[in-house]
Amino acid sequence: MLNIIRLAFACLLLLWLPASQAADSGWLQSAQNQHAKVRLRADTSNGAETRVLLSVELEKGWKTYWRSPGEGGIAPAIVWQGNPPAVTWFWPLPQRFDVAGISTQGYHDRVTLPLVLKGPIPRQLAGTLTLSTCNNVCILTDYPFNLDLSAPNDAQFNHDFAQAMGQVPIASGLLESIRAGYQQGELQISAERAAGWQQPELFFDTLKDASLGQPKVSHGGTQLQARIPVSDGWGEAAPDLRGKTLRLVVSDGGMAQEATVTIGEALGFSPVSDVALWQAVLMALAGGFILNLMPCVLPVLGMKLGSILQVERRDRRSVRLQFLASSGGIVASFMALALLMTLLRLSNHVLGWGIQFQNPWFIGFIVLVTLLFSANLFGLFHLQLSSALNTRLATHNGDGLSGHFWQGAFATLLATPCSAPFLGTAVAFALAAPLPVLWGMFIALGIGMSLPWLFIAAWPALALRLPRPGRWMNGMRLVLGLLMLLSSLWLLSLLSNHIGWQPTLITGAVLMLGLLLAVWQRLGWRSAASVAAVGGVALLSAAFSAGLWRQPLHDNIAWQPLSEQAITQALAQHKRVFVDVTADWCVTCKVNKLNVLMRDDVQKALSAEDVVALRGDWSRPSAAISAFLQQRGSAGIPFNQIYGPGSQHGEVLSPLLSRDAVLQALATAKGSAQ
């Protein structure tokens, strides 16, 4: 009988020993959650630390979460019993799950998390693991466990722990550099990898009071750019993240690196664009063509009309060559602009459409050129007027084509202060692209603008059907000269931003007097009187309405200086924001102001208590306004954008404003909360 009792005790001991020899919880399941099971194993062979492996297996379609779940979910956590030593969790590279506009970070199928406990090794390691698992529903499950750390070590544990640590992002080796910046409602990341990028992904730790959405990543060569929408998680204005520390993981090509950066000012890179190259080229062609119809090109239309009406030789070959020369002048001018942008980029200067009109020397040069064109149209460059009224708009001698070439080039210069539909997108794409693409885009813009000229060159019979030159062209010549003179005086007025109104008026008066004397001597007192009348009216109008363009007489809108801080403050107060970036040299801006912004209903809408109107003046160089436009992917003005509770990221309006578009955007920005 005693032997039977001893044998039974030995059998019980054998059954008990495996459980005590391995610090292993085995696979744990809960009756409340049949979709997941967990296992905890521990090892103390490293002496002063305890290593733990937490393995999670999930049914297909179920997921659990990373240390920062994202916009939903709860990270795994353990509540330890007793007084355990300090615990460090190591997190393998997660995946991103985006469902119904919600972006989360976590794991599916199976994952093993390494943990390290520093300090004295306890005999027992016990606690409760809380695990969140989600599919169509989410289940929060508790798994109590108890590990005996006095048991012998498991030989397989070292291999499994090393394998799990191999899935944890490294501290360095992937990135050459990384920066972070912030603008209202958007986090920006710029990273460089010497080996180039393949399919990069980014994962972010949680920031206090901020919710980070799905990143939009763009990469080329060694550079990566990412834009991440930011909100407060409750549909309110996003907090200001500048100065905060961001912890993130960047992965690519089977490698992942963890990095910590301090968020600074907006990085200023062009926004990620979904526009393909072929689409951008089509936009460049369309934008260039539409430039012919924009207000800033209207002064040149008289020159174009005169070019068609005053063709000296009425044969197809001559007409074709003259219009091809003008087209060549347009394309050559756009190539010159591409060269200017290239030099500015290489010297790290601001890039933009029409920024040359911020330079007083350039404005002065264009004033002289337009004045010379006006004098040419008045016939001052001709030694005599033939009986056949041998008038030429662009050439000074017989069959030369250089005048037609320079006429096209001049039309381009006057078009550059204008921003047309499609033009802004095409130019922004070009300025952010490699230099060969930039040149190709600007050439496409030139071809687009020269399409009307090329159309006449292809079918010269259209020009041949116009009336033949006759006495009536003397009057036409004078009208065209006066139109160009008005253009010259308008350009002269732009110098007032640089030298003041008094010197500008004195300069204008001297130029007018010289032109008047020349016209009187060449064409007689009647023509001189006409020029004097037009010039006098223009100068008097400029003197009495010096502030009209800058501050309209009946503008009831309380404009405030434009800044990112002003936008942030207004959104924090649940207000709407209307942004207007303008300049004295931007004719389209003036048209928008007079035709839309000065209308009574628009004035009333922009003067509402919950609307903050911000205006930026780009008449002269401004680093702040340049950065503001660059951050929004705009290369030219006018630029108008509307923010509000219903438009947290801002709605950019068309360069040519319309009353309905402005009022509708303001209504949308108000949101349902107002």
CATH number at residue 664: 3.40.30.10
Q: Which of 364, 589, 344, 627 is nearest to 498 (CA)?
A: 364
Give yes or no: residues 259 and 291 share one domain: no
Residue 343 in any domain: the answer is yes
Q: Which of 76, 78, 52, 44 is nearest to 63 (CA)?
A: 76
Give yes or no: residues 241 and 132 share one domain: no
What does the pLDDT look like over 361-411, one tens digit per residue?
Answer: 777 777 777 777 777 666 665 433 333 333 443 344 334 567 678 777 777
Is residue 377 within 8 Å of residue 484, measured between CB atoms? yes
Which pLDDT does position 383 carry in this prediction? Answer: 34
Give yes or no: residues 530 and 489 share one domain: yes
- Please name the residues in contact with 500: beta carbons below 8 A apart, sequence gap of 6 or more: none
Give yes or no: residues 405 and 518 share one domain: yes
The residue from 210, 244, 265 where one domain ends is 265
The residue from 515, 544, 573 where one domain ends is 544
Give yes or no: residues 517 and 459 share one domain: yes
Residue 553 in any domain: the answer is no
Q: Vertex 174, ends 169 and 176: CA angle to 5°?
A: 135
Find the mean pLDDT for residues 463-485. 63
Residue 69 in any domain: the answer is yes
What does the pLDDT look like over 16-75, one tens digit per residue?
Answer: 333 334 588 899 999 888 999 999 999 888 777 889 999 999 999 899 999 998 877 899
Which pLDDT does position 532 carry in this prediction? Answer: 63
Residue showing tokens 């296992």: 39
The residue from 210, 245, 265 where one domain ends is 265
Tell me if the bond preceding 85 is cis, omega within 30° of 0.
no
Give yes or no: residues 203 and 101 share one domain: no
Give yes or no: residues 231 and 320 share one domain: no
pLDDT at 576 over 80: yes
More confident residue, 661 or 426: 661
Q: Vertex 380, ends 376 and 384: CA angle to 5°?
A: 115
Give yes or no: residues 316 and 353 share one domain: yes
What is the tally of structural domains in the chain? 4
- Contacts of residues 387-396 at CB distance under 8 Å and 24 or more positions apart, as own/partner, are 388/469, 389/469, 389/470, 389/471, 389/473, 389/474, 390/312, 391/310, 391/469, 391/473, 391/477, 392/310, 392/312, 393/303, 393/306, 393/307, 393/310, 393/480, 394/303, 394/307
Q: At 251, which CATH number?
A: 2.60.40
Give yes or no: residues 252 and 289 share one domain: no
Print the domain residue range for 225: 177-265
Helices 298-309/360-377 angle, 10° precision = 30
Give yes or no: residues 100 and 220 share one domain: no
Residue 630 in any domain: the answer is yes
At position 466, the amino acid (one-letter code) is: L
Q: What is the pTM of this model?
A: 0.50
Residue 4 in any domain: the answer is no
At position 592, the amino acid (one-letter code) is: N
Residue 513 in any domain: the answer is yes
**Assigned token pair, 462:** 């259209």
Helices 298-309/472-493 angle, 10° precision = 160
Is residue 645 within 8 Å of residue 574, measured between CB atoms? yes
Q: How far is CA 408 from CA 316, 478, 494, 559, 597, in A?
A: 20, 21, 23, 39, 33
Give yes or no: residues 566 and 659 share one domain: yes
Which pLDDT does position 635 carry in this prediction? Answer: 65
Residue 340 in any domain: the answer is yes
Residue 17 in any domain: the answer is no
Q: Please, what sign has the CA dihedral across residues 290, 293, 295, 298?
A: positive
Which pLDDT does position 615 carry in this prediction? Answer: 92
**Mean pLDDT (the chain, rounded):** 76
Give yes or no: residues 527 and 608 share one domain: no
Phi-psi label, residue 47: left if phi above 0, alpha if psi -120 to 50, beta otherwise: left
